[in-house]
């Protein structure tokens, strides 16, 4: 059990709220969520196996409040049960579940890794929550559960037909959560993310998974000369410039939705699922255009082949999150790329593990 991060007493006059457990809290999105929760005066306990998460991210955050870290692998069902049983005596309000693996391309090559980590790890967590009596979960799902779009923008009623094991593994977890809700009274918010980018404006936490597997992060690092990057993309999709269209949502906006979900569940909100996107799609070439404009370097562009499991166009209808949670993304593509550029300039090799 990792004990390098100790409890930090709250500042005088701050009223501590309940405790939130965050799986994968040392990772990219999870660490941003931890920061927001600490700044909102929640006690936070992170569960992470540190295969991709960064201990330094959590060290950078302990100044904000009451943070503890447990080194736990969700694939170890007995360890997860004993850990949650031990912490259930505290006032645990909810679990934010970010832990998992997330590359579409890798999932086509190694589906076993995706079903083991995403599905079995999540089922172990759900069973441990049941035994410990922890009733609320906020789950990090994906728009990849929808597969090819039948209509645009995609709302939460869109059919779910994944085209890759990554999306399938997340859909299976969604179904498991619904069964635990029906059978054992688990209350849940499921968020289906569209493409996440950006970074903490304060540069306390950011993107440290190298080499990067996401377009915006890869392009920014390439433009800064930090990592090899070439624009090789299929340009024969039925889109405005022939390249795939995706919806890019900033990570700070994303975690704002998670904070709102905590308040929603604490206030008695019913279990539900929400898209998190901006309602606007950008092509690959449009992303490259903005990175070139922000960073100042130019890329050659070469046509490539359509990857297995890849779809042409997807962007979100997020009206439901706006109506129910009061969530509205506000960070522009340009601002998010600027934050990411500042992050990589400060931490060119990412944070230490």
Q: Are the C-beta atoms of residues 25 and 53 closer than 8 Å to each other?
A: yes
Whether residue 3 is predicted with pLDDT greater than 80 in this model: the reply is no
Known catalytic residues? 166
Class of the CATH-defined domain 17-346: alpha beta
What string of DSSP letters covers 26-57?
TSHHHHHHHHHHHHTT-EEEEEE--SS--HHH
Q: Band the pLDDT of 203: cuts 50, 70, 90.
A: very high
Cβ-count burial of 322 within 10 angstroms (0-12 exposed, 13-18 middle, 19+ buried)? Answer: middle
Among 59-73, 148-162, 281-295, 306-320, the least confident range:
306-320
Whether residue 29 is predicted with pLDDT greater than 70 in this model: the reply is yes
Token code pair at residue 42: 């929640």
For all residues of the chain together, what is the average pLDDT? 93
Whether residue 303 is predicted with pLDDT greater than 70 in this model: the reply is yes
Q: Provide the pLDDT for residue 15.
A: 64
pLDDT digits (tens, 9 = 90+) for 54-65: 999 999 999 999
Q: Band the pLDDT of 89: cuts 50, 70, 90.
A: confident
pLDDT digits (tens, 9 = 90+) for 132-165: 999 999 999 999 999 888 999 999 999 999 999 9
Q: How many helices (H) and strands (E) does the chain have?
A: 12, 13
What string of DSSP letters covers 93-104?
EEEEE--S---H
Percentages (nearest 5) of helix, strand, coil residues in the chain: 40, 15, 45
pTM for this one?
A: 0.92
Whether residue 7 is predicted with pLDDT greater than 80 in this model: the reply is no
Q: Band the pLDDT of 16: cuts 50, 70, 90.
A: low
Q: Provide the pLDDT for residue 14.
A: 57
Report d(CA 35, CA 42) in Å as an integer. Answer: 10
The DSSP code for 118 is I
Token code pair at residue 274: 């929400």
């Amino acid at each position: 059990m990792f004990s390098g991060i100790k409890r930090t007493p709250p500042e005088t006059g701050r009223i501590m709220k309940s405790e939130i457990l965050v799986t994968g809290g040392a990772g990219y999105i999870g660490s941003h969520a931890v920061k927001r929760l600490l700044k909102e005066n929640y006690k936070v306990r992170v569960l992470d196996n540190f295969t991709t998460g960064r201990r330094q991210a959590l060290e950078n955050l302990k100044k904000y409040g009451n943070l503890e870290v447990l080194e736990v692998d969700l694939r170890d069902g007995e360890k997860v049960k004993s850990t949650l049983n031990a912490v259930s005596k505290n006032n645990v309000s909810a679990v934010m579940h970010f832990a998992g693996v997330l590359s579409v391309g890798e999932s086509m090559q190694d589906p076993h890794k995706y079903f083991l980590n995403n599905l079995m790890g999540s089922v172990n967590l759900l069973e441990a929550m049941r035994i410990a009596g922890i009733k609320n979960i906020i789950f990090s799902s994906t728009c990849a559960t929808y597969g090819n779009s039948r209509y645009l923008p995609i709302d939460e009623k869109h059919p779910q037909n994944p085209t890759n094991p990554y999306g399938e593994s997340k859909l299976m977890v969604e179904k498991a959560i619904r069964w635990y809700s029906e059978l054992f009274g688990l209350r849940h918010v499921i968020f289906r993310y569209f493409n996440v980018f950006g970074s903490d404006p304060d540069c306390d936490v950011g993107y440290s998974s190298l080499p990067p597997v996401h377009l915006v992060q890869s392009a920014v690092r390439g433009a800064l000369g930090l990592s090899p990057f070439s624009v090789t993309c299929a340009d024969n999709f039925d889109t405005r410039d022939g390249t795939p269209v995706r919806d890019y949502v900033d990570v700070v906006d994303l975690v704002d939705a998670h904070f709102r979900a905590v308040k929603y569940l604490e206030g008695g909100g019913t279990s539900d699922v929400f898209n998190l996107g901006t309602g606007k799609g950008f092509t690959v070439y449009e992303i490259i255009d903005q990175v070139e404009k922000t960073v100042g370097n130019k890329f050659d562009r070469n046509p490539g082949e359509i990857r297995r499991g890849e779809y042409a166009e997807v962007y979100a209808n997020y009206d439901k999150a706006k109506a129910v949670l009061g969530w509205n993304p506000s960070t522009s593509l340009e601002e998010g790329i600027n934050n990411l550029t500042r992050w990589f300039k400060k931490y060119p090799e990412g944070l230490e593990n």
